[in-house]
Amino acid sequence: MQVSGSELSLQTIRRGWMAGGPAVALVLIGAWWWLLGGPIIAAREEVNRELEEVSSLRTGEHAIRQRLVQVAAEAEQTRRAEEARRRRILEKHDDASFLHWVNQQAHECGLVVRDFRPAGRVVLGEYERSGVLIESQGTYEVICQFLDRLRACSRMNRVSSFEITPRDAERTTFALSMQIVLFAQAPLRTSNPPH
């Protein structure tokens, strides 16, 4: 049997396809991978990186929120302390009202105030500081009660010095000399502009 030329060429093409078909399929798969698969995998890796970043931000968000709550609480505490400090500082010095307060507290404790003298004023920034010298006497317990009341005074003050000296040989009565510093808002300074 003889095969005609057209049949022979069809057989040759079939054999070529059978032998080269898998190679062509591999080339087509490789081209698909190179054109589509590589970019898809790269895009997926980028999405995974972004998801990890979002996850770490979520984890960090909790820590940031906790820190924000902590900072807000600290700011509120500072605001309250500043408000309390401002309430304790008078707008101007009022030695007469402080002397009245000292006399009232001394009387209630049993302390005898012998002398009360102003000791000068000094402006430090936004505050004015004035000193007061107090000479008094009483028992040790009475002096301690007075110092406790002075510590609880609504007016901002500091005891800058004090001296306790026995007044009798039995040490039942003591002389108390102390200097108290009172604080007030400094008067506003007006500056004269140059002419």
Highest mean predicted confidence (pLDDT) among 56-70, 74-88, 148-162: 148-162
Bridge partner residues of 132 (DSSP): 118, 180
- Higher pLDDT: 57 or 103? It is 103
Token output for 88: 């304790």
> Residue 185: CB partners within 8 Å, gap ≥ 6?
89, 90, 91, 92, 126, 127, 128
Q: Quote the CA–CA distance of 40 and 5 in Å, as a whole number.
A: 48
What band does 125 get if pLDDT is binned at 50, 70 and 90? confident
What band does 183 get if pLDDT is binned at 50, 70 and 90? confident
The CATH number for 95-185, chosen from 3.40.50.10790, 3.30.70.60, 3.40.50.1820, 2.30.42.10, is 3.30.70.60
Q: What ranges do the domains of the chain cover? A: 1-88, 95-185
Indicate yes or no: pTM above 0.85. no
- Higher pLDDT: 125 or 79? It is 79
The mean pLDDT value for 7-30 works out to: 75
Residue 147 has pLDDT above 70, yes or no: yes
Range 151-173 burial, b when 16+ CB lie within 10 A, else e: eeeebbbeeeeeeeeeeeeeeee
The mean pLDDT value for 9-26 works out to: 75
pLDDT digits (tens, 9 = 90+) for 47-76: 899 888 888 877 778 888 888 899 999 999
Determine the length of the chain: 195
